[in-house]
Copies of this chain bind each other. A is one copy, B any other.
Amino acid sequence: MHRIIDCHGHYTTTPPGVGAWRDAQTVAVAADPDVVGQRGSMAVSDDEIRESLESAQLKLQRERGSDLTIFSPRASWMGHHIGNEHTSRFWTEHQNELIRRVCDLYPDNFAPVCQLPQSPGISIEGSVRELRRCVAEMGFIGCNVNPDPTGGFWTGPPLFDRSWWPLWEAMCELDVPAMIHVSAACNPNFHSTGSHYLGADTTAFMQALTSGFMADFSGLRWIIPHGGGAVPYHWGRFRGMAADNGWDFDGLLDHIYFDTCVYHQPGIDLLLDVVPPKNVLFASEMVGAVRGINPDTGRHYDDTKVYIDKAPLDAEARRLVLEGNARRVFPRLEMP
């Protein structure tokens, strides 16, 4: 019997001290955009952490039968567009240390993934430093990379731009993957978890496909969340474009993985039909964008295990999707 690893969970149920710290920081930087501020302390007790998880993620793990969640700070709260590089650095350090505390309290249930202190127009070196701190000093197994730190204006460089390369090099050296995941949109054209998340997923995939830059980083691994945005649904479009333009579609699949955060049976069936089983990682992003009950299943929309159980997968493919791929993509994951 295999284990079940959910590769996409965020700490969306943080105790009130987290939001209070961030609110104070946001007020300070709104008053003075150049403020450095200070790290200070975040008032969160171990009991509050336990309470915030026991009634949510841990309860759902038990109910839905997953064993471990690869867990990172709340994505919509990364807010890289807010304030300056110091704002992002202090906030990120706190959020990552909080994730470390979660994993220390529940080492069998969670494995840590970090956010990075990105900030529009700022060198990626600070993010490389935080990645090294998290992985080398705190046992993190991966990171989340925001392809658009502007929050929906897309005025920074694409992921194939050389300015990103120190991060890709550090990831290869440390042997950790990234989930390419935007934060909340501050652009009124976009709904954060509706259009911005899915659009960014497709955008990241296209940046990799058109540039071919990942071929220069043999160990570089990205997870495209939310079932790959629009990519599997338009698999023929992308394969056809690649053939027209001489882009290496199959080679890209040595680097790119898709999670299973698709919240209905036909979507999961399509994902598992078109994407090779070696490129799909089980995930639910539970306690996330959709909280309600799917009338078609009587279960939560984001209980993606229900759809996967019903999908026509052979035993080996099922083992890869539920466990094997996660172990391969996250080699630093320590789990019996």
Contacts and interface: CB of A to CB of B under 8 A. Distances in A.
Contact of A199 (B153, B203, B237): B203
A244 interface: yes
Given A152-B154, A244-B291, A270-B270, A234 B262 contact: yes
A301 interface: yes
Interface string A68-86: 0000000000000000000
A190 interface: yes
Contacts of A155: 153, 187
A232 interface: yes
A23 B244 CA distance: 25
Copy count, this protein chain: 2
Contacts of A227: 233-234
A40 interface: no
A71 to B, nearest CB: 21
A306 to B, nearest CB: 11
A229 interface: yes
A240 B294 contact: yes
A230 B157 CA distance: 24
Contact of A230 (B229, B236, B264): B229
A235 interface: yes
B262 A266 contact: no
B267 A240 contact: no
Contact of A236 (B205, B237, B243, B264): B264
A203 B210 contact: no
Interface in A181-202: 187-191, 193-195, 198-199, 202
A206 interface: yes
Number of chain A interface residues as a range:
35 or more
Given A230-B202, A241-B194, A244-B291, A236 B154 contact: no
Given A198-B202, A241-B193, A264-B274, A233 B236 contact: no
A100 interface: no
A258 to B, nearest CB: 12
A26 interface: no
Most buried by B among A188, A191, A232, A243: A191
Given A193-B241, A194-B210, A236 B301 contact: yes
Interface in A266-311: 266-267, 269-270, 273-274, 289-292, 294, 296, 301-302
22 contacts: A152-B154, A154-B187, A155-B187, A156-B189, A194-B202, A194-B238, A198-B199, A199-B199, A226-B237, A230-B233, A235-B264, A236-B265, A237-B290, A240-B263, A240-B291, A240-B294, A240-B301, A241-B289, A243-B292, A244-B290, A244-B292, A267-B270
